[in-house]
Amino acid sequence: MLRLYYAYKSLVKGLKELDLRSSSVPCNLVLSGENAFPVVMNSDGHVLMAASRYGRGRVVVLSHERYLTLSPALVENAVIWLGGGESENLSLGVHQNLKAVADNLSKSNFQVSLVEGFSGSLGVSVYVSDAYQVGASAGDLVAFIKAGGGVLIGGQAWNWAAQNPNENLILQFSGNKVSGVAGIYFSDQYAKGENLPISPEIPTSWKSLNNEMNITKDLEFLLKGISEFDIRGSAAPSEALIHGALAFPIGTTNDGHAFLAGSYYGRGRVILATHETFLGEEKLASFWNNAFHWLDQGRNGVIGFGQWANILPNLEFTSEKTTFRQDLSVYVCTVWSEEDPEKIQNFVAEGGGLVVVGQAWSWATENGCFSNLCISCVLGNKILNKMGLSVMKKTVSKDIFKTPEPSKANYLHFRHLLHRLASHAIDGTELTKQDEEHFEQLRLKFSYFLSIKAYDSSVYTQTLSKVTDIVRICKPTVGNFSKENPLKSPKDHTLLNLAIDLYDYSLNKDAFLTYLMKNISKLPEVNNQTVQIIAQTEADEEWISTGLYLSPGMKTWITVPPNLVKDQWKIQIGCQSDRLYDREEYYRPPVVIKTFPVTSERMQVWNVWGGLIYLVAPPNVTANEEVVVEVAVSAPYYKSGESEDWSSIREAPAPWAEFEFENIILTAPSHFIRNLEFPLELEKMWNDIMRGIADLSVIPHKFIRKERIVADVQIAAGWMHAGYPVMIHFSTASRLFSLEYIKTTGLWGELHELGHNQQKSYMEFRLYTKEATCNLWALYVNEEVIGANGVTPEFRKGVVEKYINGGRNLSDWYTWTAFETYMQLQERFGWDAFKKVFAAYQKMSNFPSDNEGKMNLYAETFSQTVNMNLTGFLKAWGWPIETATEEKLSSLPPWSDHLMAQYS
């Protein structure tokens, strides 16, 4: 992007401000494509001067012809830049209408000739004209620019647009026939000339986010005679991402995901259809007829169908199968075509029509590609991205969808959503309910757009600047919230989420960080830390702790051995893995964990929010390797058998601490452990607890993967929840480290969640037992290992009576009620019976998948394990015991003196 910066610098050289106040009313210039950038922007975000490149040449546009005389210094800079940077003996052709301009320029070192119009034989380096006289020689001028010439045009288009309401402004306005090729378009919007300071960088403003050309007439044309798109059928279309200023959806799902889209590019037009079968689809025939007429622009030329694109029958054009050729009117290719992107882009820029069809998911999936917008897997995106469209791996739903209302089709364009969000956040304009509902889409679309990573494209970097502008202005609300002062409004949520995504793509992360956070305290750092990474994984991936931490926004390099690259390890910063996008209030940002796939032996990693550093081992690997972390902060990290100097470990500066025991790792804010004594007794307790869990499950005492419990200020669901890691709130974190608490009160919630992690679907009766059987581990460990009390008899009696009085409906049999059944079995047959049942199941295979089948199998297995027929007992609980099960167990003595017998 330095190229653009230097171009801008030469265009404004020596200027501090620019006084464009006059009676002349300029128009807004709309920019698109990778080369066009604003040089002068007014306080409304309207572009009054822009520059661009095409081929080997350059173009500068002023939004009123009056400006060609109003600021001679600016025009002189422009002419020099257009001439390639040298002012000596530069030969200029100036249209005869602009005599005053020619006179001004003659005062400098230029050879100026007044001419009647442009022709290739003028032999000048730069041509200067108003916007109204260039149309007739547009073809020659475009060829002149492409070959290295420079063109300076001044003019406005609102007057022409008012006089020619039925003409196409983009294609028919004289000035656009030339500057459009380079992505600068005269629009019909009035702008105002002001006295403007010259900014040190290329000017940018969030207000310019909705600078665009009106495409209503294009959509009316494309949708003529069509009221709906029927895309049912076997094909799974991809979603089209619409990001260019001149790009628009044509067919979308009801919630605004596009499968047909169009755009202008230069002087040409493009259509994207996100499944290859759309092309031959009978139900889309009228659309395609409209589309080819739109793309052909009335030339009545030849349509070329490339490899894998079948000629459409009944098309009102001459069609042929061909590779790409310049003399075609419209070229049709698939997203997988290995075409030369630049050739096709130039073809379209100069007026050609292009159809790209195909989905992106099959190639991306085949290549194991994670990216939603891969340009290596989906070559078509190399052509399309610059045209403001992309095809994503993500698919859309299939149905019959109404065609959009042409004037409202672009309502969900992420630039518009961004503009409305910013207007609301900065200028206080009202938001509609509908806008708020679409913020989630805005977040997603913006993050897909960011992943294009087109840093060499002006439109991309300009968009980054505009959104950075929004974040910079709004930082008081973005960087300032907590549990006590949560972030509540959808506006603030969205601003924060955009900022989080943008940070990762920002080219100036350090500056950006100051908009997101204030007062980042600098912690003492350690350098070149070697960490031993030992892993032996089976079915699941596993986080390996390093005992190191990165502060918010801190970056480090990590060197890993080749095996970790080969086996597709990951590096992870942070461990609070819950995503909170759907929470109404944020106590913390919705995502605070960041993962980097290890793709090379030296990786730079960071997390805007900071976090502990982990290596993530993939499933089924064995490793004993060393990694080196260049710079980090030491964390209080206690590891069984390795951490002796506890008094210094607990003082380590990082704000997050970890205790790694035999089978579990506990993570919490460091202040919970700063005053803890050497945790040997605590370690013994946790080792016993985890062995207890293993005992009941009848699995080896050494867990294949250590469990993790992580504390967080806010979690995705409930009071705690199961998983890897088990997530708990800060409010319950201290008891993890309190031997006293555990011994006197017991631990229920944590063991309930660890119990969830032990549940096996083949023994669970969906919905009924999910929140019941997990308590078996909680009860077992509390009673048998910790020596704490389980559930009180009064509570239990109440549960049973309520169930009986309610009529013993299985639909009421869940949570504590269901657990009561298991507790009664446990009281009569002991924990050993459960262990034997677990063991028996481990030897079985081919389990029934329905609840009824599973419950009968359980009745049978438990009965045979305890040598007693339990069907009477289970039927008393309302279980659907089948006659066949009863017959199978009829030889066993029945259990009849159970607690439920009194209720029969």
Kindly list the residues in this chain that would bind Zn ion in the complex (CB under 5 A): 771
Spatial separation of the C-alpha atoms in residues 62 and 50, rounded to whole Å = 7
Smallest distance from the beta carbon of 773 to Zn ion, in angstroms?
10
Spatial separation of the C-alpha atoms in residues 210 and 415, rounded to whole Å = 6
| Bridge pairing between strands 302-305 and 330-334 | parallel
CB 321 within 8 A of CB 311: yes
Residue 490 is inside which H or E element, if any? helix 490-505
Considering beta carbons, is residue 541 or 771 the nearer one to Zn ion? 771
Considering beta carbons, is residue 194 or 771 the nearer one to Zn ion? 771
Residue 492 is inside which H or E element, if any? helix 490-505
Spatial separation of the C-alpha atoms in residues 140 and 52, rounded to whole Å = 18
Selection from 155, 11, 183, 185 nearest residue 82 by Cα: 11
Smallest distance from the beta carbon of 752 to Zn ion, in angstroms?
5
Smallest distance from the beta carbon of 721 to Zn ion, in angstroms?
7
Considering beta carbons, is residue 344 or 722 the nearer one to Zn ion? 722
Smallest distance from the beta carbon of 235 to Zn ion, in angstroms?
41
Considering beta carbons, is residue 585 or 771 the nearer one to Zn ion? 771
| Dihedral (Cα; 419, 424, 426, 429), 10-degree rounding | 110
CB 150 within 8 A of CB 126: yes
Smallest distance from the beta carbon of 718 to Zn ion, in angstroms?
7
State which residue has the least CB distance to Zn ion: 771
Smallest distance from the beta carbon of 749 to Zn ion, in angstroms?
9
Smallest distance from the beta carbon of 276 to Zn ion, in angstroms?
46
CB atoms within 10 A of CB 300: 11
Smallest distance from the beta carbon of 590 to Zn ion, in angstroms?
23
Spatial separation of the C-alpha atoms in residues 271 and 291, rounded to whole Å = 8
Considering beta carbons, is residue 601 or 771 the nearer one to Zn ion? 771
Considering beta carbons, is residue 630 or 771 the nearer one to Zn ion? 771
Query: Can you point out the beta strands (E) in 146-209?
Result: 150-154, 184-190, 195-197
Spatial separation of the C-alpha atoms in residues 339 and 324, rounded to whole Å = 8
Cis peptide bond N-terminal to 725, omega within 30: yes
Rg of the chain in Å (alpha carbons): 35
Smallest distance from the beta carbon of 750 to Zn ion, in angstroms?
11
Considering beta carbons, is residue 567 or 771 the nearer one to Zn ion? 771
Q: Tokens 């986010």 belong to which residue?
A: 209
Burial string for 29-63 (b: 16+ CB within 10 Å, else e) reads bbbbbbbbbbbbbbeebbbbbbbbbbbebbbbbbb
Smallest distance from the beta carbon of 723 to Zn ion, in angstroms?
11
Smallest distance from the beta carbon of 774 to Zn ion, in angstroms?
6
Q: Which amino acid is at 682?
A: L
Residue 97's alpha-carbon distances to 131, 172, 801, in angstroms, are: 11, 21, 99
Considering beta carbons, is residue 440 or 771 the nearer one to Zn ion? 771
Considering beta carbons, is residue 764 or 771 the nearer one to Zn ion? 771
Residues linked to residue 625 through DSSP beta bridges, in sequence order: 533
Considering beta carbons, is residue 688 or 771 the nearer one to Zn ion? 771
Tokens of 261: 């889209």
Residue 344's alpha-carbon distances to 274, 341, 354, 380, in angstroms, are: 19, 5, 8, 11
Considering beta carbons, is residue 5 or 795 the nearer one to Zn ion? 795
